[in-house]
Structure 1
């Protein structure tokens, strides 16, 4: 179990770093996580003793719930796909607290950014919260800035859950 847990943790860190830096999650990174999670399930070594049913249900529910936010233009596709891969690793029962923790962190990020935008006491911190400045890609939903790296917060919440969630 330790090898797959370490692999999952490295994948979570890589995703968090990538999303914080680029404000996107590439498909190859999501696919790598999904394949590794399926490998852990196939070898009978899933995290938190998930069954195939629990993991597949977590992937489907994670994808389906966040797909609504993507369709409304509130979230990027990488966040949706990453949540599905998280569901494979952690199963449905752990996915709910991970969502809650990540959403609280993303809300704090947004609140801090809005406060700094309104009262620019720390302009560099406000720029860090916005992420890299670039021209919106063609076909991007309404040319919106992707300010909140939600997949990064999901990854951090999942890593915290790996450490403290096992003790519950």
Structure 2
């Protein structure tokens, strides 16, 4: 449910609210403490996953390539999935985000479907009046990470 909320917020608003990232982290810590996590991780891999995910994406944030919500969500996601599952989730999420970027480029050059373009990337008027610090983010990376994590959790359960 948490992954669905993250994906919905990020797709619709191109942001991940702090309360939602924090709620995911608190739920993950609670699941770790009670042994009720979806992947039944232990403390060490989960904390390492949170640190690696947060730290790696923090570099992208520092260079202005990613929003802070993506970074906070990645840290919370790392708590849920642990260090071992991060790489496949990042690969799947990055491939999805890459497809989104390619589609954006295609629709910018050949605006054959303006409604699809508006749905995926927001209205052109949303960029009007934006300053460099509030620039429009076209790729909802947290949403794609959330979808990748959901796919990874379902696939892992079936193959296990």
Aligned mates of 2:107, 2:4 — CA distance in 1: 27
Q: Which residue of 2 aligns with 1:92?
A: 83
Q: Which residue of 2 aligns with 1:54?
A: 45
Q: Tell me the secondary structure at the aligned position of residue 47 of structure 1.
A: coil
Q: Which residue of 2 aligns with 1:108?
A: 99
Q: 1:49 to 1:136 in 2, by over 3 A?
A: farther
Q: Which residue of 2 aligns with 1:119?
A: 110
- Kept in 2, the 8 Å contact 1:136–1:144? The answer is no
4+ long deviations beyond 3 Å: 134-138
Aligned mates of 1:137, 1:60 — CA distance in 2: 32
- Kept in 1, the 8 Å contact 2:130–2:136? The answer is no
User: What's the C-alpha RMSD, in Å, of the aligned pairs?
Assistant: 1.6
Farther off after superposition, 45-54 or 13-22: 45-54
Unaligned runs of 5+ in 1: 1-9
Q: Which residue of 2 aligns with 1:65?
A: 56
- Kept in 1, the 8 Å contact 2:8–2:143? The answer is yes
Give the TM-score of the pair, scaled to structure 1.
0.88
Unaligned runs of 5+ in 2: none
Farther off after superposition, 12-21 or 47-56: 47-56
Give the TM-score of the pair, scaled to structure 2.
0.92
